[in-house]
Amino acid sequence: MKIAIFGLGYVGLTAAACLTKEGHSVLGIDTSESKVRQIMAGICPIVEPGLEDLLLDALAQGRLACFTDVADRLDDCDMAIVCVGTPSGPDGSHNMGFIAEVSRHIASALAPARERPFTAVYRSTIRPGTTDELIRPIFASLLGEDMPNVHIVYNPEFLRESVSIKDYFSPPKVVIGTADGQPNAHMQEINRNIDSKVFFTRYREAEITKFVDNTFHALKVSFANEIGRLSMELGISPQIVHEIFVSDTKLNISPYYFRPGGAFGGSCLPKDVRAFQHISSTLGANTPLIDSLIRSNEAHKRYLFDRCVKGLAPGARVLMVGLAFKTASDDLRESPNVDLARYLIQGGYELHVYDPSLDPAKLMGQNLGYAYSRLPTLGQILRPLEVVQASHYDLAIDANGTADLLDLQAGRTVDIHTLR
Ligand SMILES: NC(=O)c1ccc[n+]([C@@H]2O[C@H](COP(=O)([O-])OP(=O)(O)OC[C@H]3O[C@@H](n4cnc5c(N)ncnc54)[C@H](O)[C@@H]3O)[C@@H](O)[C@H]2O)c1
Residue 14 CB contacts under 8 Å (≥ 6 apart), including other chains: 48, 51, 159, 164, 165, 168
Looking at the predicted structure, is the pLDDT value of residue 363 above 90?
A: no
Q: Is the CB of 80 under 6 A from ligand 1?
A: no
268 given a catalytic annotation: yes
Among protein residues, the one whose CA lies closest to atom 39 of ligand 1? 9
CB 16 within 8 Å of CB 57: no
Q: Is the CB of 32 under 6 A from ligand 1?
A: yes
Distance 82 CA to ligand 1 centre (A): 8
At 113, give phi and psi (nearest 5°).
Answer: -100, 35
Atom of ligand 1 nearest to the CA of 125: 41
CA neighbours closer than 13 Å in the CB half-sphere of residue 18? 25
| Architecture of the CATH domain 2-203 | 3-Layer(aba) Sandwich (3.40)
Looking at the predicted structure, is the pLDDT value of residue 40 above 90?
A: yes
Atom of ligand 1 nearest to the CA of 126: 41
Q: Where are the domains of the chain?
A: 2-203, 298-415
Q: In what order do the strands lie in the sheet with 198-202?
A: 64-67, 25-29, 2-6, 79-82, 118-122, 150-154, 174-178, 198-202
Residue 112 CB contacts under 8 Å (≥ 6 apart), including other chains: 142, 143, 144
Residue 104 CB contacts under 8 Å (≥ 6 apart), including other chains: 138, 142
At 9, give phi and psi (nearest 5°).
Answer: -95, -150
Q: Is the CB of 15 under 6 A from ligand 1?
A: no
Query: Which one of 84, 99, 155, 207 would you pick to mutate in the ligand 1 pocket, going by the greatest count of ligand atoms within 8 A of its CB?
Result: 84
Looking at residue 267, its amino acid is S
Would the CATH topology of 2-203 be identical to that of 298-415? yes
pLDDT of residue 1: 97
Residue 12 CB contacts under 8 Å (≥ 6 apart), including other chains: 5, 6, 28, 30, 81, 83, 84, 123
pLDDT of residue 306: 97
How is 175-238 classified by DSSP, letter by letter? EEEESSS---HHHHHHTTT--S-EEEEEHHHHHHHHHHHHHHHHHHHHHHHHHHHHHHHTT--H
Looking at the predicted structure, is the pLDDT value of residue 102 above 90?
A: yes
The distance between the two most distant Cα atoms of the chain, rounded to a whole number of Å, is 83
Atom of ligand 1 nearest to the CA of 11: 16
Catalytic residue among 44, 66, 77, 268: 268
Q: What is the DSSP letter of 94?
A: B
Residue 97 CB contacts under 8 Å (≥ 6 apart), including other chains: none
Looking at residue 276, its amino acid is F
Per-residue model confidence as pLDDT tens digits over 320-358: 999 999 999 999 999 999 999 999 999 999 999 999 999
Q: Which CATH number fits domain 298-415: 3.40.50.970, 3.40.50.300, 3.40.50.720, 3.90.420.10?
A: 3.40.50.720
pLDDT of residue 75: 86
Looking at the predicted structure, is the pLDDT value of residue 420 above 90?
A: no
Residues 285-302, mean pLDDT to the nearest whole number: 97
Looking at the predicted structure, is the pLDDT value of residue 25 above 90?
A: yes
Average pLDDT, the chain: 96
Looking at the predicted structure, is the pLDDT value of residue 308 above 90?
A: yes
Per-residue model confidence as pLDDT tens digits over 42-90: 999 999 999 999 999 999 999 999 999 999 999 899 999 999 999 999 9
Query: Which one of 6, 10, 127 would you pick to mutate in the ligand 1 pocket, going by the greatest count of ligand atoms within 8 A of its CB?
Result: 10
Q: What is the DSSP letter of 404?
A: G
Distance 139 CA to ligand 1 centre (A): 21
Looking at the predicted structure, is the pLDDT value of residue 288 above 90?
A: yes
pLDDT of residue 238: 98
What global pTM score does this model have? 0.93
Looking at the predicted structure, is the pLDDT value of residue 360 above 90?
A: no
Looking at residue 63, its amino acid is R
Give the whole-angstrom CA distance, residue 4 versus residue 26. 6
Residue 113 pLDDT grade (very low, low, confident, very high; cuts 50, 70, 90): confident
CA 249 to chain centre: 21
Query: Which one of 83, 103, 211 would you pick to mutate in the ligand 1 pocket, going by the greatest count of ligand atoms within 8 A of its CB?
Result: 83
For the chain, how far is it from start to end, CA to CA, in angstroms? 41
Q: Is the CB of 98 under 6 A from ligand 1?
A: yes
99-121 per-residue burial string, b: 16 or more CB within 10 A, e: under 16 = beebbebbbebbeeeeeeebbbb
Distance 99 CA to ligand 1 centre (A): 10
For residue 276, the SS3 value is: helix
Ranges 132-136, 144-148, 187-191, 407-411: which has the least confidence: 144-148
Looking at residue 402, its amino acid is T
Residue 112 pLDDT grade (very low, low, confident, very high; cuts 50, 70, 90): confident
Look at residues 406, 339, 345, 356 and name the one whose alpha carbon lies nearest to residue 380: 345
Look at residues 71, 88, 60 and name the one whose alpha carbon lies nearest to residue 27: 71
Distance 31 CA to ligand 1 centre (A): 11
CB 40 within 8 Å of CB 191: no
